[in-house]
Structure 1
Amino acid sequence: MAALLAFVGILTDPAAYQRLALVAACDLTVALAALILPWPRWSPNATALLGVAGFAVLGLSTWSFGGVATGTGPFLVLLYAWAALHFPRWVLLAFAAPATVAYLLPLILTGQPPMVLGSALVLMPVALVVGLLIEAQARHLREDRERLARIERWRSAMVNTLAHDVRSPLGTVQLALEELRDDATGMSAKVLDTALRQTARISRLADGLLDMQRIDSSGHLRLDRRSQPALPLIRAALGYVRADADVRVEVDPEATLYVDEQRFEQILLNLVGNALRYGGPPVIVRLTRDGAVDRLEVRDHGPGIPESLRPRLFGQFAVGGPEGVGLGLWIVRQLAVAHGGQAAAEPRTPGVAMIVTLPAGPA
């Protein structure tokens, strides 16, 4: 910036061409050194040397213009602000000596009066204090970021461990229940059916936790999308819902969906599960097509969504409680976005309709 301003100065004051060109060349040399030299190989604070070089150029500029320090003050403060954002406090304190020399020496060499020299008593402390204030705020922000990064690493490890440790013994439990179910009749069969449904639910929760982790870490999911009949797909997914649930399906038998089967199942089960848990019967599943978009609607007839909850409805842990951890709708939105669609809630009288839009075919 200093070099560009020097070139602008040449246009407005051609008589000072040589001095301004010298200052611009020095500024560009410092900028070039900042870009080319392999700073990461050296000390983390090695780039502070650029500040010393910057102070030297400021001193040269003041001297070349006969002791006129009009542009020196702002750039001194700018250098301190830059240093405060990137270096510890001791670097700012170490800058005090070269900055003072760069400001005073040209004024002394050009014979400036004591009043001009005394301006350093105001400028230098102000520049240092500005730098220290910025450094304190930047340090607090770095510490907060490091603390959040540690928390995130711990959370990530906990989620992965929980999900994997749940899935392994759960598979054994499910196999044992299936063996018992083959020979069970009457009430025992119903109890085992309930146990198997709950086992599947826990398995889906573990999958959801892993999905949450993958979405957080990579920002997207890899999908295996293909065109398939919609009605069998929806009925197969609803097979995980308890048998006595009042869920009605309104889907054209000829309708198709272009989706990842497993992810679509998660979307539908999360929406139907929320509708049964927080809404009221009947729960109606509809699928319609609007041009190149398929519109999946899961509508309940419950009390609806409180106004205070709507802004964060699809956030993580937004609707958690005794019956859930609040990941369902967040995962629904993430999976919808991964498909190239979106998720939203629309009020109904009574109840609410959760709408997921999905592309009707490959883009």
Structure 2
Amino acid sequence: MAGRSASGLFALAGVLALAGIAQPGSRARDLLIVAIADLLIAAVAWRLPPRRTIALAVAGLVVLAYSTWAFGGMATGTGPFFVLLFAWVGLHHPPWTSVALAPLTAAAYVAPLVAAHRPAAVIGSAVVFVPVTTAVGEVIARRVRQLHRARREVEDAERWRAALMVTLAHDVRAPLTSVQMVLEMLAEDPPPAPADRLRLTGSALRQTARITRLAGGLLDVGRIEHGTLRLDRRPVALRAACESAAALTPAAAVTVVSIPDELTVDADPDRLEQILVNLVGNAARHGRAPIVIAATTSGATVDVTVRDHGDGVPADRRDQLFERYAGGGADSVGLGLWIARELARAHGGDARYEPADPGACFVVTLPTAWSRRCPSAYG
């Protein structure tokens, strides 16, 4: 777009220069040179790579300087093209570009006036003309940047709505179907035996808890984005939390190893469970069993690792793993790892990926329970 719009601008200037040749008393030779230069630049600009289009502005200033000098220092005809050139710069380049071009613009405007021996008052008009022209480019560039930002926000909101629909359709439908089946079985005549009824109600309660966690996770996305997330931190037994998260993912073969019963972390119990469930669920979807949860302590922090034995994550995807929607697909909206990392950071920790052989290993760093009582733990 930058190259093609510049091509149109320079083509217009070239055509106008050619049209000027037919005017009585025109300097046909100089107009022809200007026209050829403009049309050559237009031809080059049409397929110029985006990063090199700023060179077109420099070429345009050189042509404008020559045009002003050739016509005896009369900037009446070239002035509008200075403004058009900076409007193009503002549309397609960052705001600083216009400021960076200001010295060259001043030279392109003043030098031909001096060479043509124009009066000091005319030369002094550069004091107003150059800043105004530069400001035009900068104002347009800032406005374009605001519009791009607004467009990205709209696109993010649309993606969020689409992700929410996928989440509701996929993650809520399965537990609701289970709850419905339990209710239908409980409503049968005769009713199930007491032992079966207890098993069925336990299953229904687990599924409703799953829906509650999902709703809480979706709400946490909004709280994280707006900076309103609040944590109810307390000492939490890490092994029990890991075993609970493993039990909440019955379809995966999850083993908890190397975590002492007495090891505690300073965390919000619900958010810690959400971190672990998200990581285990990610391993179950994208890796292969067995899935192993382990932990190692280092000073005032604990590294909790969730490892699978699948194919691992390709190197070209690792930088985007913890971005929103990065892992979206038919059975996932790509928010799990992002939520896990943001919740870990809210606790003062972090989350990262480490390759394993074989498989993938996701590591969450959390503060130990005693670190809050130890000032040195926070440096």
TM-score by length of 2: 0.55
In structure 1, runs of 5+ residues without a counterpart are 1-83, 85-112
For 2:266, the aligned partner's letter is Y
How do residues 1-363 of structure 1 correspond to structure 2 at under 5 angstroms? 115-148=119-152, 200-218=209-227, 221-242=229-250, 244-250=251-257, 251-361=259-369, 362=372
Cα pair distance change 1:195/1:357, threshold 3 Å: same
Q: Which amino acid aligns with 2:254?
A: V
Q: Do 1:231 and 1:255's aligned partners in 2 also have CA atoms closer than 8 Å?
A: yes
Mapped partners of 1:208, 1:342: distance in 2: 18
Q: Is the 8 A contact 1:163 1:207 kept in 2?
A: no
Aligned pair in 2 of structure 1 residues 195, 320: CA closer, same or farther (>3 Å)?
farther
Q: C-alpha distance in 1, partners of 2:285/2:157?
A: 32
Secondary structure class of the residue paired with 1:281: coil
Rounded Cα–Cα distance in structure 2 between residues aligned with 1:124 and 1:159: 52
In the alignment, is the contact (CA less than 8 A) between 1:215 and 1:221 conserved in 2? Answer: yes
Deviation at 1:229, TM superposition (A): 2.3
Residues 345, 187 of structure 1: CA spacing in aligned structure 2 closer, same or farther, 3 A cutoff? farther
Distance (Å, rounded) in 1 between the aligned partners of 2:279 and 2:168: 24
Unaligned runs of 5+ in 2: 1-89, 91-116, 374-379
CA offsets 1:17-64 (integer angstroms, 9 cap, x no match): xxxxxxxxxxxxxxxxxxxxxxxxxxxxxxxxxxxxxxxxxxxxxxxx
Give the Cα separation in 1 of the matches to 2:123 and 2:145. 33
TM-score normalised by length of structure 1: 0.58
Q: CA deviation at 1:203?
A: 3.8
**Identity over aligned residues, as a percent?**
35
> How many residues are matched?
252
Is the CA contact 1:163–1:206 (under 8 Å) kept in the aligned structure 2? no
SS at 2:362 equivalent: strand
* Whole-angstrom CA distance in 1 between matches of 2:166 and 2:360: 33
> What is the CA deviation profile of residues 174-211 of structure 1, one whole-angstrom value per residue up to 9, with x for unaligned ones?
87666567765799999987776665444433322211
- Partner Cα separation in structure 2 for residue 235 and residue 277 of structure 1: 19
Q: 1:150 to 1:318 in 2, by over 3 A?
A: closer
Contact 2:167 2:332 in 1 (8 A): no
